[in-house]
Chains A and B, each alone.
Chain A
Amino acid sequence: MTDVIEQVAAAPLGAAAGSPAIETVNLSKRFGRTSALAGLSMTVPRGEVFGFLGPNGAGKTTAVKLLLGLLKPTSGEAWLLGRPIGDLQTRRRIGYLPELFRYQGWLSAREVLALHCELAPLPRSSWKDEITSALETVGLTERAEDRVSTFSKGMQQRLGLAAALLGEPELVFLDEPTSALDPVGRHDVREIIRGLASRGTAVFLNSHLLSEVEQVCDRVAVVDHGRVIASGTMDELLSGTAVKVRVTGLDDAEKARLASFGNIDDEGDQLTFTNLKPDRVPELVAEIVGLGGNVFEVSPRHQTLEDRFLQLLEEEEK
């Protein structure tokens, strides 16, 4: 078996300055018979916030680990900031918050960040400012001297985010960055991501929290069973309209007869028809009434990322 990481690319750093932040060509990973990622091909330009969506086990974290050189691809190629994945020098310019975030409990928050400054490696003269700024950004200034073992899960995730921000990286991987955070923390993370984007840092956001992705991402890719099933800008992805209908008196067989109006997200008395054009709404209502249903509310609205996501997954399963 060959080395999982650690390549030394021949090209100088400057040669890759105009290259995309991330580029993959048929990147695949198998674990035994299981395909964790199947032929991922994508390009993430510099300065873009890219959302990587998918249900649990879809292959999102596998993709991030492959890109960071923590896993070895079964086939395919990928480049970060213009250099092959696994290149040690490129890692100086990358920040990473793992999904499984854990830091040395016997160190203080400041010491953990100093460790990452040292490993990055950043000039020692910049450590103090870098650490102070990162702690302030994630709201941990007051706890800087406390041992990490005394931190809540959310605070540890904030610390991980601070570590990922050190040294003004050109590309930041955030793997489920708000999984342990409260609503205030989630809002803070969105602000941090916007801040990164405004200074030209590319962000690869791995998440299954769709509203979060919808609010901050320029483009998204939806992955399921290791394959990208849709990708594009938010406008490209969310071009349809969803219609929510509050209705009673329909059994499952009658609901099934409404399938011609589009994919149905059935939540009992509430049916959401994804990707249904507004001009077909009267026809839909007439059909429901004809089936004996009692209509209490009909509300057409623009498709949300969640609507589109569920629609894509349903189409994928058919």
Chain B
Amino acid sequence: MPPTLVIARLTVQETSRRRLILALIILTLIVVGFSAWGFRKITTVTNSSGSTLPPEQVALITSQLLIVVTFMYSGVLALSAAVVAGPLISSEVESGLLLSILARPVRRSEVVIGKWLGLGVLVAIYAAGSAFLEIAAVDWATGYVPPHPIQLVLYVGAEGLALLSLGLLLSTRLSGITGGVIALVAWLMGWIGGVVGDVGTGLQNQAVENVGVFSHLILPTDLLWRGAIYAMEPDAFLATLRAAGTVGRANPFAAVDPPPLPFLAWVVVWFGLMLALSIWSFRTREI
């Protein structure tokens, strides 16, 4: 097996043996169970006239609540990716664990790519698995299925991968705690930058709107989150948002359009840049 895949396998094995995967599975099942119970309640709740809600209203409320629940999932994924990626290389340099591995015929680029790949697989599996379970639970509880479930998984997974890539880059030079904290702060700043951009859109102020654009260029997690939101919005809700004009766009939990294609192309370039930077940073580090 090539060294890259050996390192990737080792990374998956480590998270598995350290019971991180088990903890995430249990937590996810608990959340899915609770949310299924909660979503089920929407179909039985009554309005002021004492009657249950019509199906279109159930779908609307469910879609909005699902966005909030997914925000929590994307947060868990982003936090986990940042916290796990932060010490991925630095802790092994500090402990000396990498010394004996790097004395083997293993390139440092193979270590970086292997670790990214191993954790990336876990991020992808978690994003797909948790989305499948949650969507299945919501479908069972309310009969509502978001319009673009595949895109939803792709966007949420890519958000986790973005945080993983940032955490890994920081991990090549900074201690695990420092790198993890910086990645988390960057994620939150990125989200806030997106909100500021929304405010700019609402006010039709180009300068303020550009804050969002630049923050999406530097760290595209918020942009990807908007893509996930778009994938969950039913057509009727989208029509309402569009009818509201610029005001409809000024909402961090709503997206009128999917992320533009040039931006998605930039995200692919961004991933490549982060990996290239990580490899360069680790290759030039003396350990």
Please list the residues of chain A having a beta carbon within 8 angstroms of any beta carbon in chain B: 1-6, 65, 68-72, 88-89, 91-92, 94, 96-104, 106-107, 115-116, 118-121, 160, 163-164, 173
CB atoms of A102 and B101 under 8 A apart: no
The 5 residue pairs across chains A and B that have the minimum distance between CB atoms: A100-B96, A106-B17, A96-B103, A119-B104, A98-B99
CB atoms of B97 and A102 under 8 A apart: yes
If A4-B285, A106-B14 are given as contacts, then 7 extra A-B residue pairs at C-beta distance below 8 Å, sorted by A number, are A70-B286, A94-B103, A96-B100, A107-B17, A115-B6, A119-B3, A173-B103
* A89 nearest CB neighbor, chain B only: B105
* A95 nearest CB neighbor, chain B only: B103
CB atoms of A119 and B105 under 8 A apart: yes
Chain B residue numbers with a CB within 8 Å of A94 are 103
* A68 nearest CB neighbor, chain B only: B103
Question: Cβ of B242 < 8 Å from any Cβ of A?
Answer: no
CB atoms of B104 and A3 under 8 A apart: no
Chain B residue numbers with a CB within 8 Å of A88 are 105-107
For residue B168, give the distance in angstroms from its CB to the closest CB of chain A.
Answer: 18
CB atoms of A1 and B108 under 8 A apart: no
CB atoms of B283 and A119 under 8 A apart: no
Chain B residue numbers with a CB within 8 Å of A96 are 99-100, 103
* A91 nearest CB neighbor, chain B only: B105
CB atoms of A1 and B284 under 8 A apart: yes
CB atoms of A120 and B99 under 8 A apart: no
9 contacting pairs across A/B (C-beta < 8 A): A65-B286, A72-B286, A98-B99, A106-B18, A116-B104, A118-B1, A119-B3, A120-B104, A173-B103
* Best-surrounded residue of B17, B103, B283 (most CB of chain A within 10 A): B103
CB atoms of B103 and A91 under 8 A apart: yes
Please list the residues of chain B having a beta carbon within 8 angstroms of any beta carbon in chain A: 1, 3, 6, 10, 13-14, 17-18, 95-97, 99-108, 283-287
CB atoms of A5 and B283 under 8 A apart: yes
CB atoms of B100 and A160 under 8 A apart: yes
* Best-surrounded residue of B1, B10, B104, B285 (most CB of chain A within 10 A): B104
CB atoms of B284 and A4 under 8 A apart: yes
* A90 nearest CB neighbor, chain B only: B105
Q: How far is the CA of A234 from the CA of B275 in the complex (A)?
A: 51
Question: Chain A: interface secondary structure?
Answer: loop
* B108 nearest CB neighbor, chain A only: A5
Evaluate whether A103 and B108 lie within 8 angstroms (CB atoms) in the complex, with A71-B286, A72-B286, A115-B10 already known: no
Evaluate whether A104 and B284 lie within 8 angstroms (CB atoms) in the complex, with A5-B108, A6-B108, A68-B103 already known: no
Chain A residue numbers with a CB within 8 Å of B10 are 104, 115
CB atoms of A101 and B100 under 8 A apart: yes
Evaluate whether A70 and B13 lie within 8 angstroms (CB atoms) in the complex, with A4-B284, A119-B3 already known: no
Evaluate whether A102 and B6 lie within 8 angstroms (CB atoms) in the complex, with A4-B283, A4-B286 already known: no
CB atoms of A120 and B103 under 8 A apart: no
Q: How far is the CA of A108 from the CA of B142 in the complex (A)?
A: 48
Q: How far is the CA of A231 from the CA of B207 in the complex (A)?
A: 70
Chain A residue numbers with a CB within 8 Å of B105 are 88-89, 91-92, 119-121
CB atoms of A6 and B107 under 8 A apart: yes
Chain B residue numbers with a CB within 8 Å of A5 are 102, 107-108, 283
* A72 nearest CB neighbor, chain B only: B286
Chain B residue numbers with a CB within 8 Å of A72 are 286
* A124 nearest CB neighbor, chain B only: B1
CB atoms of B96 and A106 under 8 A apart: no
* A159 nearest CB neighbor, chain B only: B100
CB atoms of B101 and A119 under 8 A apart: yes
CB atoms of B99 and A70 under 8 A apart: yes
Chain B residue numbers with a CB within 8 Å of A71 are 286-287
* A106 nearest CB neighbor, chain B only: B17
* Best-surrounded residue of A68, A98, A120 (most CB of chain B within 10 A): A98
Q: How far is the CA of A7 from the CA of B284 in the complex (A)?
A: 13
CB atoms of A91 and B104 under 8 A apart: yes
Chain B residue numbers with a CB within 8 Å of A65 are 286-287
CB atoms of A6 and B286 under 8 A apart: no
Chain B residue numbers with a CB within 8 Å of A91 are 103-105
Chain B residue numbers with a CB within 8 Å of A119 are 3, 6, 101, 104-106
Chain B residue numbers with a CB within 8 Å of A173 are 103
Chain A residue numbers with a CB within 8 Å of B284 are 1-4
For residue A84, give the distance in angstroms from its CB to the closest CB of chain B.
Answer: 14
Q: How far is the CA of A120 from the CA of B101 in the complex (A)?
A: 9
Chain A residue numbers with a CB within 8 Å of B6 are 115, 118-119
Q: How far is the CA of A290 from the CA of B277 in the complex (A)?
A: 74
